[in-house]
Structure 1
Amino acid sequence: MIRIAASLAALVGLLALHPASAQEARAGVQPDGTVTAPASRVPYSDLTSPEARAFFPRMLAEGAKAPPITAPIAESRAFYDRMNSDRAARMQKLYPVTIHAQTIAGVGADVVLPANGVAPANRHRVLINLHGGAFLWGAHSGGLVESIPIASLGRIKVISVDYRQGPEHTFPAASDDVEAVYRALLKQYRPADIGIYGCSAGGILTAEAVARFIHDRVPVPGAIGTFCGSLLDLSGDSAWVAPLLNGQGVPTHHLGIGDLPYFRGADPNDPLVQPGRSPALLAKFPPTLLITGTRDMALSSKVRSQALLQAAGVEAELHVWEGMWHSFFSDPELPESRQAYRTIVEFFDRHLGHVARPRRLHADADGGR
């Protein structure tokens, strides 16, 4: 695990490129800076755990079975529910919890509690989880994957929200649901005692939800976590390099907000869609934890998001795991996953319940230091 500022984006994957022959080594650079390399061999990182090195090929093989994003939604939801249900079952053996369904402000949710009880220090705290899944799938089982280890290790109540998704619903339906749940919890908890976090689509939604709270003049939570998705659309070096490092080749087009049915008709420049586009909005964000890996297509977006938050005067803590892929901590057996869980638990433990300190805004809101 490494902890860095915004200077890592250009490094992902570059040092591992080994041409198979002199002929294949003839790379080119186009006038716009595009680099071409006819064929390359990219070994998996030798800086990861032995467990990760053994798991990586199996993970890629399983991922290759996933339906394309254009597949019928029922097919995709069934595939990911099987995958996430298996992960959740494995997690419960390692991280004992109790789970029950609850409706909060008309929105469905799964409430996850540590089997050995909420810690005394956390009786007045709560975490809200916003699951991943491209704003298309991930309800229930995907949310449990993100909630079980955190609830158990942190001995804290976690509420995973079943927010509305595409293709049936479009932006801002999910933000509406999160705000409804959050407002209901504000009747029981102080804002400073509430944390919100999510992975992938859930990381994006976490940022969107905070932007929505600020827009609607609702007090922001004590701290948030945006994992494998953050304040900006997926772009930058990692959007092109990560698919190569994950055995998919270099894409001709990288997946972005405009490809997701949930954002059909939404303005990508709207700060409620991409909060990173508004320095004034970011200045009001709470302390933020950002998590990603060097083989995550969201790495560049995460690095840039951390820089923008820091430029806006927000405490933004970025952790990048070597050799790890998008949502790597969904599989609980990896040492890197255990490190990520501990990082999440410790971050919220440090920040929840504290009164926000005045922030000094940086003069340069473009991410510079």
Structure 2
Amino acid sequence: MTDSQLDHISDLLLNSPLDLGGDVPKMRRVFDEILGSAPLPADVRTRTVELGAVPAVEVRAGATAPAAGTVLYFHGGAYALGSAAAGVGLASEIARRTAATALCVDYRLAPEHPFPAAVDDVLAAYRALLDQGTPAGSVAVVGESAGGGLALALLLAVRDAGLPQPSSATVLSPWTDLTQSGASMTTRADTDPALTRQALATRAADYLAGADPRTPQASPLHADLRGLPPLLIQAGGREILLDDALRLAARAAHADVPVTLRTFPGAPHVFQGFAPVVDEAARALNQVAAFIGDRLRPEGRA
């Protein structure tokens, strides 16, 4: 049953009108329309907020009891597409499973705002949480696709700024290497229904705007990862970014970072977004929730 569900999702992605490397204004509309087409469950509650002058959407789901912590969430879209509002669906699934409040950050997008604007925004949002009195140990960072790379960039910026690290970071199908050097860029090219090397190259050029693609906060795979908090990495077996996840896990382990890697055979890019209808995606998010919950310290306890 799971294989047929994953095949169905892959077919949907393959026949989607989204062209990740296409015209940015048009593809932004398509991206948001696709992600916003499914109605949110009745128990999802949202409101717009600001974190250090950075717009965000606060997401709560399920019980109305005090939140168990905060999930700082970064949407995908290759640094050029996507929005906090479009990320609410997946963020709400994590919020429900963790009983935490999710904050989807509307970081600035390329090409209008190239690197390091997005990194500056998420660092400002994290600083704002700390300035509000939120204990770092009560925060979990989650990002998908480019948002996964951005989550890692945030951890590097937090470390370099001498700030306390969040309790953990979870990255779903992370884009960690803007040099596109992973072997799966070639070996999974015929099986990935969502991404192409050329589309990613187009968006990487927009984001970098001439910056070195090996710059650590642009391509965290090439960073010194020492001192980062525990990482959970999930990736699908069909995606060209598979090696971005595999190599990240190896580099984290060599840097003495606690790391958990989960791969899902037959799964496409960010398949977790289909958790309401795909059993394997729901199981993956249950793993995410367990990982986050085991490490959150809501009251800032050690």
TM-score of the superposed pair, with normalisation by structure 2: 0.90
Tell me, yes or no, if structure 1 residue 246 matches structure 2 residue 192.
Answer: yes
Per-residue CA shift, 1:187-233, capped at 9, x if unaligned? Answer: 32111111111101100100111111112222211100121115433
State the match for 2:247 in structure 1. 304
State the match for 1:347 in structure 2. 291
Trace 1:1-369 onto structure 2 (pairs within 5 A).
48-62=2-16, 65-67=17-19, 69-71=21-23, 73-87=24-38, 89=39, 91-92=40-41, 96-118=43-65, 122=68, 125-187=69-131, 188-233=133-178, 234-246=180-192, 255-256=200-201, 259-279=204-224, 282-332=225-275, 333-353=277-297
Per-residue CA shift, 1:65-118, capped at 9, x if unaligned? Answer: 2235141x220111011101014x2x526xx21011111211100000124224
Q: Structure 1's 257 and 227: CA in aligned 2 closer, same or farther, altered over 3 A?
A: farther
Aligned partners of 2:80 and 2:203 also within 8 Å: no
Secondary structure of 2:36's partner? helix
Secondary structure of 1:101's partner? strand
Query: Which letter maps to 2:149?
Result: I
Greater relative contact order (Cα < 8 A, sep 6+): 2
Quote how far apart the aligned CAs of 1:335 are.
Answer: 0.6
Quote how far apart the aligned CAs of 1:143 are.
Answer: 1.6
Partner Cα separation in structure 1 for residue 109 and residue 199 of structure 2? 21
Query: Which letter maps to 2:227?
Result: K
Query: Which letter maps to 1:75?
Result: K
Partner Cα separation in structure 2 for residue 304 and residue 202 of structure 1? 17
Q: Structure 1's 215 and 248: CA in aligned 2 closer, same or farther, altered over 3 A?
A: closer
Query: Which letter maps to 1:57?
Result: D
Query: Which letter maps to 2:255?
Result: A
Partner Cα separation in structure 2 for residue 232 and residue 147 of structure 1? 24
Quote how far apart the aligned CAs of 1:54 are.
Answer: 3.5
State the match for 1:33 in structure 2. none
Secondary structure of 1:109's partner? strand
Q: Structure 1's 275 and 67: CA in aligned 2 closer, same or farther, altered over 3 A?
A: closer
TM-score of the superposed pair, with normalisation by structure 1: 0.75
Q: Structure 1's 119 and 238: CA in aligned 2 closer, same or farther, altered over 3 A?
A: farther
Partner Cα separation in structure 1 for residue 44 and residue 147 of structure 2? 22
Aligned partners of 1:113 and 1:158 also within 8 Å: yes
Q: Structure 1's 265 and 153: CA in aligned 2 closer, same or farther, altered over 3 A?
A: same
Partner Cα separation in structure 1 for residue 19 and residue 58 of structure 2? 29
Secondary structure of 1:244's partner? coil
Quote how far apart the aligned CAs of 1:252 are.
Answer: 7.9
Partner Cα separation in structure 1 for residue 36 and residue 96 of structure 2? 17
Aligned partners of 1:179 and 1:213 also within 8 Å: yes
Per-residue CA shift, 1:139-172, capped at 9, x if unaligned? Answer: 0333213311011122110000000011110111
Quote how far apart the aligned CAs of 1:240 are.
Answer: 1.3
Aligned identity (percent) is 25
Q: Structure 1's 256 and 177: CA in aligned 2 closer, same or farther, altered over 3 A?
A: same
Aligned partners of 2:119 and 2:217 also within 8 Å: no
State the match for 1:18 in structure 2. none
Query: Which letter maps to 2:244?
Result: S
Quote how far apart the aligned CAs of 1:349 are.
Answer: 0.3
Bigger Cα Rg = 1
Q: Which consecutive unaligned segments of at least 5 residues does structure 1 have?
A: 1-46, 358-369
Q: Structure 1's 136 and 126: CA in aligned 2 closer, same or farther, altered over 3 A?
A: same
Q: Which consecutive unaligned segments of at least 5 residues does structure 2 have?
A: none
Q: Structure 1's 277 and 56: CA in aligned 2 closer, same or farther, altered over 3 A?
A: closer
Quote how far apart the aligned CAs of 1:238 are.
Answer: 1.4
RMSD: 2.5
Quote how far apart the aligned CAs of 1:352 are.
Answer: 1.6
Partner Cα separation in structure 2 for residue 208 and residue 105 of structure 1? 18
Give the paired residue count. Answer: 298
Quote how far apart the aligned CAs of 1:356 are.
Answer: 11
Aligned partners of 1:80 and 1:138 also within 8 Å: yes
Task: Pick which of 261-270 and 337-346 moved more.
Answer: 261-270
Task: Pick which of 199-208 and 137-146 moved more.
Answer: 137-146
